Chain A
Amino acid sequence: DVKVTQSSRYLVKRTGEKVFLECVQDMDHENMFWYRQDPGLGLRLIYFSYDVKMKEKGDIPEGYSVSREKKERFSLILESASTNQTSMYLCASTIPGHYGYTFGSGTRLTVV
């Protein structure tokens, strides 16, 4: 089974802190994604990457950046955390083609 591992299940950070969320997948997937999920708003795509060193903005990239230095690892960075970034963050990966995504177990981030 593909495993997508997110480094933390729960995280509490202070406003203005720089926050790193890590995601690692073990199945050599090319494509990786970061979403946030909020009640009533569904899954919203923040950033995605189709290859090492490659990144593209999703629907809500403001306030976030990403890093993909190795194929298996895709990091989401909150440059200066704000309370409106309190959310569930989900990482996903897949291979190109007609395949679904595998999600990590999520990081529930609270910014106080």
Chain B
Amino acid sequence: RKEVEQDPGPFNVPEGATVAFNCTYSNSASQSFFWYRQDCRKEPKLLMSVYSSGNEDGRFTAQLNRASQYISLLIRDSKLSDSATYLCAVRNYGGSQGNLIFGKGTKLSVKP
């Protein structure tokens, strides 16, 4: 099983739709979790950290499910500008201490 897995998509949704992505991780000792957004041919940019209690930033909600070892990202009222690839990242401790492990990303395409 890969350490961090994401459905590559693409997710094709109409404007205004709600869309959710999941990201599963294999190490139950994982400590920190993040969602990144990457536009085509650009660098990944931190979208939000994922806290145990879940967190929300405008139309974006991130949640952590430790029992099932996944994190999720929910986007409400999708905009054309949300079209991008969304990467999840997980930090373990021990071994390569402090390094993030990235998923390969889920591509989102929001259509008019």
Chain A interface (Cβ within 8 Å of chain B)?
A: 31, 33, 40-43, 45, 48, 50, 56, 58, 88, 90, 94, 96-106, 108
Contacts and interface: CB of A to CB of B under 8 A. Distances in A.
A42 B43 contact: no
Contacts of B99: 33, 45, 48, 58
Number of chain B interface residues as a range: 20 to 34
A98 B31 CA distance: 8
Interface stretch (B44-52, B57-65, B71-79): B44-52
B25 interface: no
Interface of B: 31-32, 34, 36, 41-46, 49, 87, 89, 91, 96, 98-100, 102-105
Contact of A106 (B43, B46, B87, B96): B43
Chain B, interface SS category: strand
A100 B98 CA distance: 10
Given A48-B99, A90-B44, A103-B45, 14 more contacts: A42-B104, A43-B102, A45-B99, A50-B98, A56-B96, A88-B41, A94-B98, A100-B46, A100-B49, A101-B100, A103-B44, A104-B43, A105-B42, A106-B43
Contacts of B87: 42-43
B55 to A, nearest CB: 13
A56 B105 CA distance: 25
Contacts of B42: 105-106
A108 B42 CA distance: 10
A76 to B, nearest CB: 15
A31 B89 contact: no
Contacts of B49: 98, 100
Contact of B32 (A42, A43, A98, A106): A98
Contacts of B98: 31, 50, 94, 96-97
Contact of A102 (B31, B46, B89, B104): B46
27 contacts: A31-B98, A40-B104, A42-B87, A42-B102, A42-B103, A42-B104, A42-B105, A43-B44, A43-B87, A43-B102, A48-B96, A48-B99, A58-B99, A90-B43, A97-B98, A98-B31, A98-B32, A98-B91, A100-B32, A100-B34, A101-B46, A101-B100, A103-B43, A103-B45, A105-B42, A105-B43, A108-B41
